[in-house]
Amino acid sequence: AVVSTQSTGKTLATLFVRIIRDERVYSKICEEVRSADISSLQSMDKSLKYTEMVILEVLRLHPTLMRGIRDTVKTTTLANGLEIPKKTLIFFGQLVLHKHPKYWEKPLEFYPERWESGSKDITPFTYLPFVAGPRVCMGKHLAMMTMKMSIV
């Protein structure tokens, strides 16, 4: 499927619970939505910066995929000397990465403002709600736009 309505629906449900439980976030989103330019999808997308930060933070704490699977394209030796043969399946935990204190300051705290500078301050491949690289989710932008439109 190009975009999974089930994943978007789960994220929206979690998003609304987070917004309702946090008066500060609720107030900021209401203020932003009231002043948003919704004359076109492009202008709406650009005028909902805080809403996007809240969505990114919800996806960090509550990713729709808990793990990812990839296979190695060549034999690789890790820093600890462990050799991983070519065509080995690698399982990685997105939830573990998204909450790891090595990569996130106050990792268990819901803090949308951590996204103010976009993803510039994020260690590459530690935030993977849509996976990354050549196999990034094709529906990423559609899902983000759908969630923003649902809030408006």
Region for 118 from its dihedrals, namely left if φ exceeds 0, alpha if ψ lies in -120 to 50, beta otherwise: left
Task: Provide the pLDDT for residue 2.
Answer: 45
Read off the pLDDT of residues 103-116 as tens digits, 9 standing for 90 and up: 999 999 999 999 99
Highest mean pLDDT among 25-29, 118-122, 148-152: 25-29
Other Cβ atoms within 10 Å of 65 Cβ, number: 15
Residue with tokens 């939830």: 95
The per-residue pLDDT for range 90-149, each reduced to its tens digit, is 888 888 999 999 999 999 999 999 999 887 888 888 898 888 877 788 888 888 999 999
- How many angstroms separate the CA atoms of 86 and 53, rounded? 38
CB neighbour list of residue 116: distance below 8 Å, 6 or more residues apart: 53
How high is the pLDDT of residue 4? Answer: 62
pLDDT at 25 over 60: yes
Nearest to residue 48, comparing CAs of 61, 21, 29, 26?
29
Both tokens of 63, joined, read 């990713």
Rounded Cα–Cα distance for residues 65 and 98 (Å)? 11
